[in-house]
Amino acid sequence: MNVFLAQLLNGLDKGGAYALIALGLTLVFGTLGVVNFAHGALFMLGCFCAVTFRYLITLETVTIDPEKLSPWGSPVEVRTPLVQNWFGDFGAVLVDYSVPISILLAIPAMLIIGIAMERGLIKHFYKRSHAEQILVTFGLAIVLQEIVRSFFGANPVPQPIPSDLRGAADIGVWFGMAAHTLTYPWWRLIYLLFSAVVIGGVFAFLQFTTFGMVVRAGMADRETVGLMGIDIDRRFTIVFGLAAVVAGVAGVMYTPLLAPNYHLGMDFLVLSFVVVVVGGMGSLPGAVAAGFLLGILQSFASMTEVKSLIPGIDQVIIYLVAVVILLVRPRGLMGRRGIMEN
C-alpha cells in the first residue's frame, strides 16, 4: 500500500509538469489554431530565468581579511553576495529562496517573450498549414536552444532547493500511519501544489473574467466575435503571452528537480505533445487530465516489479497509450468532434 501511494505521488508530481506545459500548448492551439513546436523552448527559458536570477543575486564582493591566513600565510579572501552586503540577513534569505523568488522575474520576462514571438513570427502563419507551422516553430525552438547554449554553456546548471524545504515530509502521519512509513520530498509536494494552483488560476481566469469569456467565445467562433467589434487578435496575442508565462513558471519551479540545460525544452516537447493529443487537441480539461493520467502511468511503469516483467516499459508506456487512444478515439479523450478524425 505504501509503495502504491508513493508511486501515485510520483505520478501526480510528474503529471503536474506535463499538465502545465500541455495547458499552454492547448491554449495556443485552441485560440490561434497554431501548432507551436517552440513551446518546450519556453519551458526551458523559464528554467534559465531562475538560473539568471540566481546568478545576479549571487554576484560577490571580495574583501581581504588580514586576521585570517591561508596555510601559505597569505590573507584570506572573503566572498560575500552583494545582496547580503546590502540587505543583511534578508539578502541571505533572497539567495536561499532564489528559485521561488525568480518567478517575479520570469512572469514579465516570459510575457514579453511570448508577445514578441506571436507578433514577430507566429501571426504570419495563422492561415498556413500545420506542417508549415511545425517547421517554423521547430526552427525557432532550435534557435532559442542555441542562444541559451551560447550564454550558459552545454552543461546542466543545478539550482538549490531552499534550505528550509529540503528533506521529506512524513505523509504517512497525515493519514494515520506510523511515523516514517510514507515520506515524500517537500519540494515535490510544493511543485504538485503549485501546479494545481496555476492550473486552477488559468481555468478561473478563462471562466470568470470578461476577457476569458471573450477568449472562449473566440475559440468557438472567431468570425462572429470579430463582427461584434471586439479586437480578438489583440486578446489572442495576450493569450499567447499567458501560455508562455505558464510554461515559464512551470520551468522555474522545476529547476531544483532537474538541472536546467539547453536541450531541456526538446526533452519535454515530445512528451507534452503526446499529452495534448491524448487529451484532445484544443481541450483544456483534456490536456490537464491527460497530463496527470500519463504521469501516473509512467510512474507505475517505472516500478522495478513492472520493468522486470516488461523491460523498458517505462520508456514507451506514454506512447503506447497514445497509440491506443488514437486508434479508438482519434480526437482524444475530451477533444471536440471533428478534430483529427478525418
> Can you give the residue ranges of every domain in the chain?
2-328
The beta strands (E) that lie in the chain are given as 60-69, 75-81, 168-170, 183-185
Rounded CA-CA distance 280/332 in Å is 4
Grid cell 510528474 — which residue?
A: 14
Q: Are strands 168-170 and 75-81 parallel, antiparallel or unpaired?
A: unpaired
Q: Which residue from 55, 61, 105 is spatially nearest to 84, judged by alpha carbons?
A: 61
Contacts of residue 16, Cβ cutoff 8 Å, sequence gap at least 6:
191, 192, 194, 195, 196, 291, 292, 295
The CB density around residue 78, as the number of other CB atoms within 10 Å, is 12
Q: Which residue from 87, 260, 75 is spatially nearest to 159, judged by alpha carbons?
A: 260
Length of the chain in terms of residues written: 342
Q: Which residues of the chain have pLDDT under 70?
A: 1, 62-78, 219-222, 226, 336-342
Instruction: Quote the pLDDT of residue 253.
Output: 93
Instruction: Quote the pLDDT of residue 249.
Output: 94
What are the DSSP calls for 259-297, one per residue? ---TTHHHHHHHHHHHHHHHH-TT-HHHHHHHHHHHHHH
Instruction: Quote the pLDDT of residue 250.
Output: 92
Instruction: Quote the pLDDT of residue 72.
Output: 64
CB neighbour burial string for 142-178, b if at least 16 within 10 angstroms, e if fewer: bebbeebeeebeeeebebebbeebeeebebbeeeeee
Whole-model pTM: value is 0.87
Rounded CA-CA distance 143/318 in Å is 28
Q: Are strands 183-185 and 168-170 parallel, antiparallel or unpaired?
A: antiparallel
